[in-house]
Every structure is written in structure tokens, then in C-alpha cells.
Chains A and B, each alone.
Chain A
Amino acid sequence: MPAVELTNISKAYGATQAVRNVSLTVEPGELFGLIGPDGAGKTTLFRILATLLLADAGTATVAKHDVVREFRAIRNVVGYMPGRFSLYQDLTVQENLEFFAAVFRTTVRENYELVRDIYEQLVPFKDRRAGALSGGMKQKLALCCALIHKPELLLLDEPTTGVDAVSRQEFWHMLSTLKERGITIVVSTPYMDEAALCERVALLQTGQVLRVDTPAALRESYPWPLYAVRAARMHPLLQDLRAYPAAHSCYAFGETAHLSLAQPDAAAEAHLKAYLTAKGHHDVSVAPVPATIEDTFMDLLQTHHSAPVS
């Protein structure tokens, strides 16, 4: 029995279709990622799972309970962290924790063991008001509050958005620790690099699931020959690569440009070097490169919508 099961879920806000016919399952103990940009429907899915919203169509169960009929049972076993940091800014760290513990009919001491690792980082600030914490610390406190009643399932809606890289890394480390304790985690993020840290991910765009798979399988599913191309100046490089006759797509990837070819070409490297040198580029290097999840996602986006959706 899966920990979370969504079957043909749809939800619209007025004329805007936020979620279209989404089906997903999350296994117990899994660290599952919902990956997609703003407007992909991540928050709506979380709210449906958290029993805060009713879907227009479809069914969903969380921890074997139906989200519509048995919402009370779900609320006892789910820890939910909404997209905005849902803390009382005018309460101290300690007061926030104690409050949420009491609301979930428990005490900080009772479940101290579970939150200890995170809580210890907060101890130096325990008398500081939550509003005065940095983004990273707020995020830790919010996680602590969501964990305080020992939930079976954690629903984390964009916990790392707007948080710096250091805090993000620490946060993902905490998630892997929690996963080892058997807690099922569903987490959403707009950062593609974080997808690699999940066991399985669903790639979402405009309310639809583009694909669900493990990060490795997603990378392998990339259908085109892919090359990382470097040259001294990025912008002209991108423009010239897009004009390359055999190019399928070309995107900047950090300090390189990822070029996919429409046809496999055994001598692609030599051809590309010659092409670019002829265009006047310096320090050109071309190497085949394995696709990242971001490459796969962009490819799926392109095949799904050739033009932006309004």
C-alpha cells in the first residue's frame, strides 16, 4: 500500500487549470520530489494531500486514508510545511516550538529525539523571535515544528526557495537523515539540481506530470547525443551553436553550452571545433557529456509545448 496515492486529480481556480489529471504514487519511506517551476501545480498538489483543498476530480489517499472522507485521520499523521515560512514571527524560537507541540497534543520533550539534530542548531537562538532569524534558520525551525509530532509523512512545499546554497545543502542533509528514520517525505523544489537528491521525482509543468522516475533513469532517458561546448565568449557561442545545421537544441549550462544533435555523428567533436573556429571562437573545447535532469526536463518541456503557454 503506497504512502501517498493520487489518481486522476484535477483542480481549477476559476478559469485557471492548476492541476490536470495527475496520478502519482509515493512508497512508504520514500524521498519523493515534485520538480517544476512556479505555476506547475506543486502547491495545489500539496494542499490537496494536506486535506486543505478539495480536488475537482480524482481521488487521493494519504497513509491509507482518503483525503476527503478521512481528513481528520490524515491531519494526525502528516507534518506539513507550506511554501511560505509558516511561523509566528513575533514568537521566539522556543515559543513557536512549544506552541506547535501543544497544538499537535504532544511536548517538545516527548519527541526530542527526532528533532534533536535540528534543534541543537537552533538552541543558541532559542530566545530570539522567529522574525529576526535568517532564511536558513527559519527554514530549520519550520521543519522542526513540522516534525514535532512525529509524523509518518512530511509534506514540504518549496522549503529551499529563496534560501542560500549553504542552507539548502544542510537542509537536504537533514532530509536524508529523516528518511533513514523511515519517514516518508514529499518535497517540492524549483531547483533542478535538487532533483538529483530525491529517490524518485515527478517533473511537473503547468499542472501536468511530464514524467515520473528515478533521477538516474531520467538522465538516461535523454534521447539526443549531447555535447558540452566551451569557448571564450558564451553569448556568441550560444548563438553560433544554435545556427549549427545539425543542432537540435542548445542551452547554457554553467560555464559550458549543452548542445544536442538531431542525428548521432561519430565525428561530431571535430566537426564542431572546425565550425566554431571558422566562426572566430577561441579556446574551443567539445566533449560528449551525460545529460542532467535539467537537460531531460528542458527536452520534455520542448516536446510538450513548442511555444509558451498562456
Chain B
Amino acid sequence: MKTAAIGPVIRCEKLTKRFGAFTAVDAISFAVAPGEIFGFLGANGAGKTTAMRMLCGLLGPTEGAASVAGFDVFTQAERIKQHIGYMSQKFSLYEDLTVRENIRFYGGIYGLKTAAIREKTDALLQRLGLEAERNTLVGSLPLGWKQKLAFSVALFHDPAVVFLDEPTGGVDPITRRQFWDLIYEAAARGVTVFITTHYMDEAEYCDRVSIMVDGKIEALDKPAGLKQQFGVSTMDEVFLHLARGAKNVE
């Protein structure tokens, strides 16, 4: 792991983003440890996407402090991008490129050597059981396979952190769980996983979960701790309890 600092991989202190008079992210503070699976929940419009963009180095914060993989989000956005992986449901792979071409492309983007790319590609395809599909166009793969491949590609350059933005939308329940197996494996290897989801059962699979309401982090704990704190039996209820109090759900 090419992490420049020991200690938390993601660290936010009073991180804030304002758009004009509107405060999208309001002084959030948290730290994520290496190898942790960190669930980042919130209603639509609660500020999740804005916060995630700041952490990925895509959006400059207004104030506060934050570092990702040891790099400062204010001054080292480009270094951050080198050390994180990103996958979303919407954009992941090029449908009109083959499996191998997609992998080679992403390897190239992150400056990996050709020999290294070839070697890692073989290992990756073997792990996913996609060896026979290496020259298949990604567009013709089933959705579940695409998502697994996209996740592996996001990890291809051995990032310290991987950001997953609703990665499991629309897939069947078995594939969704197989996807989580991949997440667990990555976390066991020491990769930090930062994930958003609308499936509340998936919140239970996270080591810790934060819930954003109106730009603030209203709750942050292990799933069991949150359920205990609110005296309910599922994460769904925790979420509903918190999000109902939101002022600007809209």
C-alpha cells in the first residue's frame, strides 16, 4: 500500500462546502481506518455526493481540513486521484471495448507498466473466472459480471481507498452478495472501502456507518451501536428515524 501516512486513511475535520448561500456539506468530521468498510448513507440531497466529490479530489472544499491516503484535499487533489479507486453504478467500463482492453486502458491511465498490466490482468481474470471472456465486449456481459469487473478495475492500481457510489443498483440478490464477497476480500487485503448505497441491508455489512442529514453527519457508529442508540432492530429504522427529521429533504 502506497499510503503516505500511518493512521486513518480518510480524515475529515469540519469539512465544509458552500454553494452560494447554500451549505451542502456542513462541517463534517470523521476518520476511516485502513481496511475498514465505511458506509456513507443519507437521503437524496443530504450532501453525500458533494462530500464524496471533495474526498475524491474532484471538488475544492470551502473550509475545514481533510486528507485522503495522506494527501491534502486542498492542495494535493491530483496526488489523491493517483491513490484512490472509484466506481459508480453509472460510469464504470466502456461497453464497446473488450474486457482486456478495458483493463489495459485503466492500467495505462494510472501509469502501470505494460508487463505489469499483462501480469495483473491474468491474475484478475483468473480470480473473477473471466478468462474465457477476455476478448468479449463488456457490453455483452451480464450486469453482475460487469459490476464485478468494474470493481476489480477500480482496484487495479492498488489504491489505498476505493470509493463505491451505489455499486450494486439493479443487480439480483445473489450477484449483490457475490459483490459484497469481493468487497470483504478487498478489505481483508487492507483496502479501505468507502461505499454509498440505498439498500439498507447493505448498511449492516459495513464496519461502521455514517448517516448524513442536511449536510451534517447525524450518526456514526457500528451498525449494532446505531440500532442500540435509537432502540430499533434494523438499519432501515435507524435511517428513517434520522432522515425524517431533515429540514431540507427537498
Assess A/B contact in the complex (Cβ within 8 A): yes
Residues of A within 8 A of B (CB): 36-40, 125, 133-137, 161-167, 169, 190-193, 205, 234-235, 238, 251-255, 294, 297-298, 301-302, 308-310
CB-based contact A252/B177 at 8 Å? yes
Given A192-B173, A254-B235; A235-B184 close (CB under 8 Å): yes
Show 17 residue pairs from A and B whose CB-CB distance is below 8 angstroms, ordered by the A residue. A37-B143, A37-B173, A125-B250, A134-B45, A162-B198, A165-B198, A165-B200, A165-B240, A205-B172, A234-B184, A235-B185, A251-B177, A252-B177, A253-B201, A254-B205, A297-B172, A310-B141
CB-based contact B205/A234 at 8 Å? yes
The listed residue with most A CB atoms (<10 A of its CB), out of B173, B181, B205, B244, is B173
CB-based contact B169/A301 at 8 Å? no
CB-based contact A310/B250 at 8 Å? no
CB-based contact B44/A37 at 8 Å? no
CB-based contact B169/A191 at 8 Å? no
Given A234-B184, A254-B201; A136-B143 close (CB under 8 Å): no
Within 8 A of A (CB), among B93-146: 140-145
CB-based contact A309/B180 at 8 Å? no
Determine if B204 is an interface residue (Cβ-Cβ < 8 Å).
Answer: yes
CB-based contact B171/A37 at 8 Å? yes
CB-based contact B205/A252 at 8 Å? yes
Determine if B4 is an interface residue (Cβ-Cβ < 8 Å).
Answer: no
Given A251-B177, A302-B174; A136-B145 close (CB under 8 Å): no
What is the chain B residue whose CB lies nearest that of A163?
B44
CB contacts (< 8 Å) of A165 on chain B: these are 43, 198, 200, 236, 239-240, 243
CB-based contact A301/B199 at 8 Å? no
Given A165-B243, A254-B235; A37-B201 close (CB under 8 Å): no
Q: How far is the CB of A212 from chain B (nearest CB, A)?
A: 18
Interchain CB contact (< 8 A) of A301 among B42, B174, B249, B250: B174
17 additional A-B residue pairs with CB within 8 Å, beyond A167-B249, A238-B184, A255-B223: A36-B172, A37-B175, A161-B169, A165-B200, A166-B43, A166-B240, A166-B244, A166-B249, A190-B169, A192-B173, A193-B236, A253-B201, A254-B201, A254-B234, A297-B173, A308-B142, A308-B175
What is the chain A residue whose CB lies nearest that of B244?
A166
Determine if B219 is an interface residue (Cβ-Cβ < 8 Å).
Answer: no
CB-based contact B43/A164 at 8 Å? yes
CB-based contact B205/A294 at 8 Å? no
Q: How far is the CB of A231 from chain B (nearest CB, A)?
A: 12
Q: How far is the CB of B210 from chain A (nearest CB, A)?
A: 15
Determine if B170 is an interface residue (Cβ-Cβ < 8 Å).
Answer: yes
Q: Measured between alpha carbons, how far is A125 from B188 in the docked complex, in Å?
A: 47
Q: Measured between alpha carbons, how far is A177 from B198 in the docked complex, in Å?
A: 24
Within 8 A of A (CB), among B188-204: 188, 198-201, 204
What is the chain B residue whose CB lies nearest that of A293?
B173
CB-based contact B174/A298 at 8 Å? yes
Determine if B33 is an interface residue (Cβ-Cβ < 8 Å).
Answer: no
Interchain CB contact (< 8 A) of B44 among A38, A134, A251, A298: A134
Determine if B224 is an interface residue (Cβ-Cβ < 8 Å).
Answer: yes
Q: Measured between alpha carbons, how far is A24 from B171 in the docked complex, in Å?
A: 23
Q: How far is the CB of A12 from chain B (nearest CB, A)?
A: 15
Q: Measured between alpha carbons, how far is A223 from B223 in the docked complex, in Å?
A: 31
CB contacts (< 8 Å) of A190 on chain B: these are 169-171
CB contacts (< 8 Å) of B239 on chain A: these are 165-166
Q: How far is the CB of A27 from chain B (nearest CB, A)?
A: 27
